[in-house]
Structure 1
Amino acid sequence: MKFLTAALAFLTFCSTAYAGERQPIATFDWAVTETLSMLDIGPLGVTQLETYNEWADNGLIAYDAIELGFGPMPNLELMSHLNPALIIGGLTPLNEKLSHIAPTENISLFPITGDPWQAVHDFTLALAARLGHQKDAKRLILESEQQLARLNHKLSADQAPLLIIQFRDDRHVWIYGENSLFQGILDQLGLTNAWNKPTNHVGVSTVSIDELPAIEGRLVVLKSPHYTASIGDRLNRGGLWQALLRVRGGKTVYLPVNYWTLGGLPSAMRFAETLVETLEDT
């Protein structure tokens, strides 16, 4: 694919960004952390870093950052020992304890209100402004929008509305709606989201797979690590899922997941590139 040349250039920058400036920042938010790495800022410590890298498998977060433990219950003793200069993340219940370690700031993308792409834009600039990297952020946003315009031109004008789902288990899915990270990308690519019902604070609805045949739109199944490791085989062996696919008719798209579904600009761009490549090939 010709567009992959530009895509790889953008992703190569993102993947190598953490090799630059290391700052004494601890973060509890993966959208924050991957955005910092994109801005050439390597955070000192990250909660559940191993989980993120296992899920996203994209090198957008520095592997040599220190693991700070489980997000809701971080290792406060370790954090005190590391003595960060700043803690970033939406952990309001913990802020009182964390404030004894370092200044805390709640810079978060979620919940998204209003236009999702604008929310990603504003979040990226707000984080960059806090750390004096506004110029880099503006450049990267511009490069992202140029790449999205190129990807848009790769798609045919008759694309069906997309129903983007992620399996929780073999009977329930999350469907991504209008206040999700993915909605901003669909808008930029000129694609329609088939799901317009209420969602939770991160833009997803939980639905039984029995309900899927009645929902219009082309089915896009996110092949997350959870799907690949434990759900996909069960679905392929089970008659219910196969029957539901036959009832729906048309082609189902299986989309590789090499991004974090609740991430920031780096994950949004990786989703866009993977989606367009997959739609072109099906």
Structure 2
Amino acid sequence: MSDRPLNTKPMQRNGHAVLPHRRAVLGGLLAAPFVMRSGPALARPSRIASLDYALAQHMLVLGSPPMALADAHEWDKWVAEPPLPADIIDLGTSLSPNIELLAALRPDLVLTTDFVGMAEPQISRMAPVERLTIYSDGGTPLPKAFETVRRLGTILGLEERAEAYLAETESFFAACAERARPFREKPILLLSFLDPRHARVYARPGMQQDVLDRLGLQNAWTGEGFYWGFATVGLEELAKAGDAVAMADYMPPDIKATLEQSPLWLSLPFRRNRGPIPVLPTVAAFGGVPAARRWATLILDALERQAA
């Protein structure tokens, strides 16, 4: 799945622009003669397509980018890190990928998740499918993300690189936990705005909660969400967070301008006592291990700036 689910992706407000080069790419692929493979089957897939941002993140940090990705044209808008190579082909939306283009690309393997599983019957007629799901009922996302890194390491023949990345990630979180020590007394409220009257609150169980737990920080929102890790609430419900340290990963300028004219918003303790809340740089809300690391960095950067 792509980063923002359920518009089924409600946060993707602007729809999906069709890349101008897609038709030309497809035409060239269909016009070119296919070369039949000869000899023994490939031991490892080398042409992998992904319908999910988090799985693509994992391939990138393992040094083996996918050749094609659903919603690739919106990577910089919703994910940003790690950078996506410019030559990765866009497959259209994750819930309705361009099957004709995918067939022309002739992938060795297509990566899916539970969220995009409805596309598998069509895809499986043209390529093997591997379903690797991070966001699902039971458990929390970060341990599942670690396991997908290991599984992709096995698929790609990069087991040692996968284990080295995960070991380095453990060291990274340990260092971040030390940075977080001065901020452990104040609960943190993580928001993502849908409109001037409604927000997502990142909650348990979710990747953001996993990150807060790794940092030893408190979540100001004690209610639970569902397995994507958020609850959708009205503005008035945010009063439950009290005088938390609030920050947002998504607050477009028009929403921010409206909020700053709202008596209700201005009366909320975390806004009244602390001023306008910081808006974090782009970070994948429903990403993999690289997204968890980026969340940790951005949260700590915001806290340190406020304390300076």
Q: TM-score range with shorter-chain normalisation?
A: 0.7 to 0.9
Q: Distance in 1 between matches of 2:254 and 2:278?
A: 16
SS in 1 for 2:49: strand
SS in 2 for 1:41: coil
Question: What is the deviation of 1:76?
Answer: 0.5
Q: Is residue 85 of structure 1 aligned with residue 108 of structure 2?
A: yes
Q: Is residue 200 of structure 1 aligned with residue 226 of structure 2?
A: yes
Q: Distance in 1 between matches of 2:279 and 2:227?
A: 23
For 1:172, the equivalent position in structure 2 comes to: 198
TM-score relative to the length of structure 1: 0.84
Q: Which has the higher helix share?
A: 1
Q: Distance in 2 between matches of 1:123 and 1:99?
A: 20
**Would you say the 8 A contact 1:89–1:107 is kept in 2?**
yes
1, 4, 26: which is aligned to 2:49? 26
Q: What is the one-letter code of the residue matched to 2:60?
A: S
**Would you say the 8 A contact 1:222–1:257 is kept in 2?**
no
- Compared CA separation, residues 112 and 36, structure 1 to 2 (3 A): farther
List 4+ stretches of structure 1 deviating above 6 A: none
**Structure of higher CA gyration radius:** 2
Q: Is residue 98 of structure 1 aligned with residue 87 of structure 2?
A: no
Question: What is the deviation of 1:154?
Answer: 1.8
Q: Is residue 222 of structure 1 aligned with residue 248 of structure 2?
A: yes
Q: What is the one-letter code of the residue matched to 2:171?
A: Q
For 2:34, the equivalent position in structure 1 comes to: none
Alignment of structure 1 residues 1-282 onto 2, 5 Å:
23-90=46-113, 91-111=116-136, 113-155=138-180, 156=182, 158-216=184-242, 218-224=244-250, 227-245=251-269, 249-250=273-274, 253-282=277-306
**Would you say the 8 A contact 2:249–2:283 is kept in 1?**
no
Count residues with an aligned counterpart.
259
Could you tell me the percent identity over the aligned residues?
25
**Would you say the 8 A contact 1:112–1:180 is kept in 2?**
no
**Would you say the 8 A contact 2:108–2:128 is kept in 1?**
yes
- Is there any run of 5+ residues in structure 2 with no aligned partner, and where? 1-44
**Would you say the 8 A contact 1:162–1:217 is kept in 2?**
no
Q: Distance in 1 between matches of 2:76 and 2:234?
A: 29
Name the Cα RMSD after superposition.
2.2
- Compared CA separation, residues 247 and 131, structure 1 to 2 (3 A): closer
**Would you say the 8 A contact 2:244–2:270 is kept in 1?**
no
Q: Distance in 2 between matches of 1:217 and 1:120?
A: 32
Q: Distance in 1 between matches of 2:141 and 2:107?
A: 31
Question: What is the deviation of 1:84?
Answer: 0.6
Give a deviation string over 1:256-282, Cα, whole Å, max 9, x none. 132211000111111111111111121
TM-score relative to the length of structure 2: 0.77
